Structure 1
Amino acid sequence: MTIKNKTITQGFIIAGLMNLSVLILSRFFTNSTIPEFDPDVMSNFGLLMIVLWGLAYMSIAKNYYKVKWLVGIFVAEKFIYGYVWVKWILNNNISDVYKKDTMAGIFYSLYGINDWIFFVFFLLVFIKIFKMTNNS
């Protein structure tokens, strides 16, 4: 499977924008329900770090092929967040979050799905760059 460079650049931008959506769902870090349901990972500090990861994705969108190992780090980061989300979903009742706050419910419903999608995307990009740099 070949992914065009333009598509990859757009993928990095979309990944970043998805992370920046935390600003909306957390009401610019004023939504107390998100940190309440996962204070270790989704504290306001944790949410801020998600924003920074998003900015990192966007910062390399046009030059991703120059930073193979950073893309590899993105793969690991998305895997970790996806894994943490699966554990959270299996051990919590999402309807409890929705009862307290709809935007927090949306956040918890979607963040892991988003992370798994971009885990696959970053992995495919990493493999492409790895093959490209090892063949030259």
Structure 2
Amino acid sequence: MRGLPATITQRATTVPGNYHPNSLITKGFWLAGAYNIFGVLTFSQFFTNTLLSATDPAIFSWFGLICIMLWGAAYASVAKSYQAVPYLVLLFFVEKILYVMTWLMWLTNNLDSLPTLFADSPDRDFLFGLWRRRSGLWRVFSLGGLQ
């Protein structure tokens, strides 16, 4: 672009927000979004699995599941622009801390009944183990997005 300062020319030819399609953080946001949306649909069996809401109604009610999917959509929406929204990434981090704290409180209150719960439903065992570990993983991942 003739006649323009180098900084304007450079900015016009680069992708907004320093987006790198192969960035590990970008892929992580896409993965987090897909995990929340498709994980809910899979484990709730498209909202027909009553075992989830019976086990943890605070998190796995139909409303809680919808909210988890909305968080997934929020993750995916910032995959290309997470650097431009550091406070939103911080909010993701805080949300994950709350989920992990809720899980720890649930475990503390239900420790005696865990063997019975997991014997009743192997997919619930898989879901609770995987879903709750994911919260801790995304919490660490969210910190990477704050850089």
Distance in 1 separating the partners of 2:143 and 2:42: 27
Structure 1, 96-105 or 47-56: larger mean CA deviation: 96-105
Tell me the equivalent position of 1:30. 48
Tell me the equivalent position of 2:137. 117
* Cα displacement string for residues 10-50 of structure 1 (whole angstroms, at most 9, x for unaligned residues): 01011112212111011011100000011122211101110
Q: Is the 8 A contact 2:25 2:144 kept in 1?
A: no
Q: Is the 8 A contact 1:16 1:55 kept in 2?
A: yes
Alignment of 1:19-58 (within 5 A): 19-20=36-37, 21-58=39-76
C-alpha displacement at 1:75, in angstroms?
Answer: 0.4
Moved segments of 4+, more than 4 Å: none
TM-score by length of 1: 0.84
Structure 1, 46-55 or 83-92: larger mean CA deviation: 83-92
**Which secondary structure does the structure 1 equivalent of 2:47 belong to?**
coil
Structure 1, 92-101 or 43-52: larger mean CA deviation: 92-101
Tell me the equivalent position of 1:17. 34
Unaligned runs of 5+ residues in structure 2 are: 1-18
Q: Which residue identity does 2:43 align to in structure 1? A: L
Q: Which residue identity does 2:132 align to in structure 1? A: G
TM-score by length of 2: 0.78
**Greater Cα radius of gyration, structure 1 or 2:** 2
- Number of residue pairs matched? 124
Q: Which residue identity does 1:12 align to in structure 2? A: F
Alignment of 1:1-12 (within 5 A): 5=20, 6-12=23-29
C-alpha displacement at 1:94, in angstroms?
Answer: 2.9
Tell me the equivalent position of 2:10. none
Tell me the equivalent position of 1:133. none
Distance in 1 separating the partners of 2:114 and 2:34: 24
Unaligned runs of 5+ residues in structure 1 are: 129-136
Distance in 2 separating the partners of 1:47 and 1:67: 25
Distance in 2 separating the partners of 1:96 and 1:25: 19
